[in-house]
Amino acid sequence: MANVVVIGAQWGDEGKGKITDLLSKSANVVVRYQGGVNAGHTVVVGDQTFKLHLIPSGILYPETQCIIGSGTVIDPKVLIEELDQLETLKVSTDNLLISETAHVTMPYHLLIDQAAEQSRGDHKIGTTKRGIGPTYADKSERSGIRINDLMHLEDLREQLSWTIDQKNVILDKLYNIPPLDADKVFEEYSAYAERLRPHVVDSSLTLYTALQQRKNVLFEGAQGTLLDLDHGTYPYVTSSNPVAGGACIGAGIGPTMIDRVIGVAKAYTTRVGEGPFPTELHEEMGEILGSRGAEFGTTTGRQRRCGWFDAVIGRYAVRINGLDCLAITKLDVLDEMDEIQVCVAYELDGSTCNDLPTSASLFARCKPIYKTMPGWKQSTEDCRSLDDLPKEALDYLKFLAELMDVPIAIVSLGASRDQTIIVEDPIHGPKRALLHADGTPAQVV
């Protein structure tokens, strides 16, 4: 039994939704600990596809309790749409709980986010324009509205009366946007409050009680390590902390309650939005990866930039998150490749660079140093054990494990639940009894 954090080890979109869904069958509680509707998880079960933005993937298991933690920012309109979608698909949402201290995305957050990004011109950072950054900014400025404000309507009315006056000045003077009507906003959000009220709890207390009862808890992050506000490729980052350390703050528990951290990485690399991307492929090969991998954002529909696997950012993710195992996704996308490149280091101003630069300008000058691996030229979609994999595919996985010095626990070979090789269940299995770099199980420690 273990309490496990699942994080993205790249720039997000690594397939965390599927991995979280797989692990949720062994978890009693699944907690989403940061981010907002700028994130998206796609889970395929049989002939049904579920696109989730705020609600944890564990909602597809009727006995699993799902918590949207205090570190998230919630657009109640989108959350209610998501609830409606699940209920239409006959998925119960009775076990969904919402932290009363999570912050609320308001209409002015959306307007400011959209206008600010547009005003940046050539200096856009790639925001999803969903109001996430401005919501977190208000949280930091201690002027935000929280879920528990929605639950007390007189407090909400009072706060809106002066908050919207302030925001209208910004909308008018800075962006030439018509002012918002505080009464209309209050009326709209009052209706949202009544719909969400049955789900609202003190999530930290609920979670602590579950941990005291020795229940298995899965902590689900949004986005990825390289989009972390503090440790990502700033300024092309999100406004919260997707890294493993963010789970404690965003869920409201102490670090001693975390047992394991599993990092999810594609067998290649993708990125949405702006910013440096050393292994990006601009021509035919990038288009092939994008087409075979269906690389379009769940939230925005934007086409993802595609490139070869980057072990430099992989090693960085291991260090920043304390990863003790990996899930490699979309291995099947490489099935038709004659050769596969892996970035093992960078060339930076004539010198070899083995570690990720913290400066955006330095990172932008990094050029990949590749090792070429042979392709396997056959389908892996029906493989269900390591023994089923072609030798070249297994060698590729071994090489990634060696480069990152972390064993592999899970290999995903398609979008469906059953298209997966589970070397070891990170929740129930012994720690590090997984696929090591030489292809043999690592020693239990």
Which residues are the active-site residues? 13, 41
**Four-CA torsion 418, 422, 428, 429, nearest 10 degrees:** 170
Phi then psi for residue 126, to 5 deg, are 90, 25
Contact 96, 66 (CB under 8 A): yes
- SS3 call for 199: helix
Question: Could you give the CA distance from residue 130 to residue 347 in angstroms, rounded to a whole number?
Answer: 36
Cβ pair 220, 174 in contact under 8 A: no
Q: Tell me if 369 sits within 8 A of 354, measured CB to CB.
A: no
Provide the CB-side half-sphere exposure for 139 (13 A, CA). 22
Residue bearing tokens 């007189």: 154
* Secondary structure element (H or E) that encloses residue 256, with its range: none
- Name residue 201's beta-bridge partners: 99
CA atoms within 13 A on the CB side of 184: 5
How far is the C-alpha of 194 from the C-alpha of 253, rounded, in Å? 28
| Helix, strand, coil percentages, rounded to 5, for the chain | 35, 20, 40
Write out the two tokens for 407. Answer: 């064993």
**Sign of the Cα pseudo-torsion (149, 63, 60, 253, in order):** positive
Give the integer Cα–Cα distance in Å for 398 and 401: 5
Helix (H, G, I), strand (E, B) or coil at 79: helix
